[in-house]
Amino acid sequence: MGILQTLFGDDARVLYERNFQLLLLASLSSPLGASVVSPILEGLTGPLGTSSTQIGLLMAVFTAPAIFLIPVVGVVSDRVGRKPVLTAGLLLFGLAGLAISLTTEFRVVLGLRFLQGVGYTGIAPVLITSVGDIFAADDDAEAAAQGLRFTAVGLSLTLFPVLSGALVVLAWQYPFFLYGLAVPTALVVFLLFEEPTAVGDESEGDDSIGALLSLASHPRVAATLVGRAIPSFLWFVFLTYNSVVVVRLLGANPGVAGLLVAAASVASSVSSTQSGRITTAFDTRVVPMLVSTLAVGGGVVALAFAPSTLVAGLGVVVAGAGFGVGLTLYRSALTGSAPVDLRGGLVSLGESSGRLGSTVAPVLTGAVIAFATPALGEAAAIRWGILGVVAAGVLVGVASVVVVDRYDVPTRATTVTAAD
């Protein structure tokens, strides 16, 4: 295996699976929905004829479809297969993104971003599931493959925000050309990807739905689902207002904003790999969950009040580290709260909760800033508005962790009894 063996050790064997190679290629596109737009939001207010408080809607309308569609897409991919859903998702995501460069009408751009969000629901969740399909017979290989896929996502999150911030200096349309990567990727997936699962299986019926709803209503699980939204909520406050703070308040350029997104993404990728070691150092997950929530919130506030880009950079690195650990812990908590036959459904609910947090964040923050601007002035309203929204999110996150700590993991018997 040569160089790959040297770099990845025994894990390198999964890289020789062609289907997995195609999933890695598709994983480069999956995080682009937010990472390409985040560094350039402030620079789009002029070309699109809108304000700093409204520009955050470009993030909200992208994340909104996933709130409801991720569970639906999971069912569809079980019925018709992973390949057609992934191919369609990539095509819609890429073409809608490219089309943004052809208009300056803000409402049209919002509609195209919404379509991108629909396309996204057929990409990221299907990629995660397909990795599990391919390596279902080998738990070690599956774990290694999921880790390597996350590395590909991290590479994309590091590279493309920087490119986006550099390209927008030349013309506001140029960053949206980066979405073109998804179109040839869709073609390659269509031609070469081999369907990893049997399709057309019968649904398990209403009993499974009832059991899932009963499980989700258990206090510990419900609190975990609420808490799952908080890392995404805080992260999207950062992604939405990073460029506004950097360009408008600190006087830097979009390229610097892109570098900050990249730095935060690297910190997130690195910290998530250490989640296992962090949790083993404590008797429960309460302390790591609380610290990670405070870290991402504190980092975003540090960005908002930073006197320089250096301080802002330190803040976003802390926020990224907290986000990586927090997101991993919440996903793990949901996975460990469900029996095998309900795990996929509960994880889908968790991802929908996360997208809900991502969607609410820019809308709520924009509304608070708009309300505060007449009294405080724009700069102070942005800083204090971010602080207020982040503080509210952190309080909800802390309350969720407290509830999680008070209840035991539900048993299968409890779920079935409650469903009956």
Q: Mind listing the pLDDT tens digit for each residue in 329-359? A: 887 777 667 675 666 677 778 888 888 998 8
Task: Calculate what percentage of the chain has a pLDDT beyond 90.
Answer: 41
Length of the chain: 420
With contact defined as beta carbons under 8 Å apart, do 77 and 126 qualify?
A: yes
Name the pLDDT band for 8 (thresholds 50, 70, 90). very low
Q: Topology of 204-420 in CATH?
A: Growth Hormone; Chain: A; (1.20.1250)
User: Structure tokens of 137?
Assistant: 């017979």
> What CATH code would you report for 14-202?
1.20.1250.20
Surface-to-core class of residue 264, CB atoms within 10 Å of its CB (0-12 exposed, 13-18 middle, 19+ buried): buried
State yes or no: pLDDT of 199 exceeds 90: no
Instruction: Return the pLDDT at 12.
Output: 61
DSSP 59-109: HHHHHHHHHHHHHHHHHHHHHH-HHHHHHHHHHHHHHHHHHGGG---HHHH
State yes or no: pLDDT of 10 exceeds 70: no
Q: What is the mean pLDDT of residues 283-288?
A: 79
- Alpha helices, H only, 244-285: 254-272, 275-280
Of residues 348 and 57, the one with the higher pLDDT is: 57
Domain(s) of CATH 1.20.1250.20: residues in the chain: 14-202, 204-420
pTM of the prediction?
0.75
Q: Mind listing the pLDDT tens digit for each residue in 260-280? A: 988 998 888 777 766 666 767
Q: Mind listing the pLDDT tens digit for each residue in 212-271? A: 778 888 888 899 899 989 999 999 999 889 988 998 899 988 889 889 988 998 888 777
Which of 17-21, 100-104, 316-320 bottoms out in mean pLDDT, i.e. has the lowest?
17-21
- Please choose, from the candidates 239, 226, 236, the residue with its C-alpha nearest in 3D space to the C-alpha of residue 353: 226
- Please choose, from the candidates 232, 333, 348, 350, the residue with its C-alpha nearest in 3D space to the C-alpha of residue 289: 333
Instruction: Return the pLDDT at 413.
Output: 45
- Please choose, from the candidates 15, 27, 31, 29, the residue with its C-alpha nearest in 3D space to the C-alpha of residue 135: 15
Instruction: Return the pLDDT at 198.
Output: 65
Question: In the 3-class helix/strand/coil scheme, how is 340-359 assigned residue by residue?
Answer: HHHHHHHHHHHHHHHHHHHH
Q: Mind listing the pLDDT tens digit for each residue in 107-144? A: 999 999 999 999 998 888 788 778 777 776 665 666 56
* Mean per-residue pLDDT of the chain: 84
